[in-house]
């Protein structure tokens, strides 16, 4: 069975005060696992992504939401994990590194959805043929979401997310995405070596649970807020995306166009609000 962590022997070197020679010792260390996951739709390979094993069906479902292929559980006729010869439906993995999705009748993946090469854990839009392929907005704008969020509540979320990161606490090597209510209650958290994978897992969980769109929710991500993370939040119907680091210029442009409230540098008592400040209230 694939695991979320891998054990490795390392040489631990400790310097003395002043940087001089100290001590060294061999010890066991835990690493965040990274393995490929192929996503196959209606018998055709759609993409291959590098991810941390676990919640693979959610990852595949969330990826299809972010590619605007599906919008509800009814769009999926069947989803299962395969190893090339054997498939199954039960939770995690041991069954292989292929997520096999059969779409419902009348639902198709547009030709532009197919990635042209391997998607790494650092890339959410690699392999797209053109800028038009990555600019996807939902049919319903976020402007109608009237939820309000207190800055004090947002400031408390990074610590809550960190406290919920079980694998990060053991490896120090994973990103996380956390979904919160407007009152700051943690609804779901997923970890992965890739930020976009962690978000796809959260969105996929919501889709398979029948909870999309995620109106009135906050999505908090570790690291920066890139274009693809904004698009994933928008397509999931999330009105506020917060990140502990900076957004990119294209992320801000898309958030503004889509009516998403985008918060960056959410650290301690301060934050930057790049778009949609009207949703923040004391």
Where in the sequence numbering do the catalytic residues fall? 123
Q: Can you read off the two tokens belonging to residue 157?
A: 């979320």
Instruction: Tell me whether strands 35-41 and 98-103 are parallel, antiparallel or unpaired.
Output: parallel
Structural contact between residues 239 and 263, judged by C-beta atoms closer than 8 angstroms: no
- Quick one: the chain helix, strand, coil %, rounded to 5? 30, 30, 40
- Rounded to the nearest 10°, the torsion over CA 199, 107, 95, 62 is 0
Q: Is 30 helix (H, G, I), strand (E, B) or coil?
A: strand
Beta-carbon contacts of residue 125 (< 8 Å; ≥ 6 apart): 134, 227, 228
Taking alpha carbons only, the member of 231, 234, 246 closest to residue 124 is 231
């Amino acid at each position: 069975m694939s695991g979320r962590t891998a054990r490795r022997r390392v040489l631990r070197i400790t310097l003395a005060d002043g940087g001089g020679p100290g001590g060294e010792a061999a010890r066991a260390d835990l690493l965040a696992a990274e393995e490929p996951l192929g996503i196959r739709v209606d018998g055709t390979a759609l993409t291959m992504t590098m991810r941390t094993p676990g919640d693979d069906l959610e990852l595949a479902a969330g990826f299809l939401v972010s590619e605007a292929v599906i919008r509800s559980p009814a769009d999926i006729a069947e989803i299962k994990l395969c190893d090339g010869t054997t498939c199954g439906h039960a939770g995690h993995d041991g069954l292989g590194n292929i997520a096999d999705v059969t779409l419902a009748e009348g639902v198709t993946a547009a030709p532009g959805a197919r990635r042209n090469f391997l998607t790494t854990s650092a890339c959410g839009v690699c392999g797209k043929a053109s800028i038009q392929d990555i600019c996807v907005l939902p049919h319903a704008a976020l402007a109608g979401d009237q939820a309000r969020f207190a800055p004090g509540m947002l400031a408390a979320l990074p610590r809550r997310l960190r406290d919920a990161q079980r694998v990060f606490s053991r490896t120090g090597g994973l990103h996380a995405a956390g979904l919160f209510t407007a009152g700051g209650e943690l609804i779901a958290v997923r970890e992965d070596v890739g930020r976009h994978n962690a978000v796809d897992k959260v969105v996929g969980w919501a889709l398979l649970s029948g909870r999309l769109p995620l109106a009135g929710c906050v999505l908090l991500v570790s690291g920066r807020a890139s274009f693809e993370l904004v698009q994933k939040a928008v397509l999931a119907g999330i009105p506020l995306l917060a990140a502990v680091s900076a957004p990119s210029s294209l992320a801000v442009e898309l958030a503004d166009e889509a009516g998403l409230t985008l918060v960056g540098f959410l650290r301690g008592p301060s934050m930057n609000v790049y778009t949609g400040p009207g949703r923040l209230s004391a």
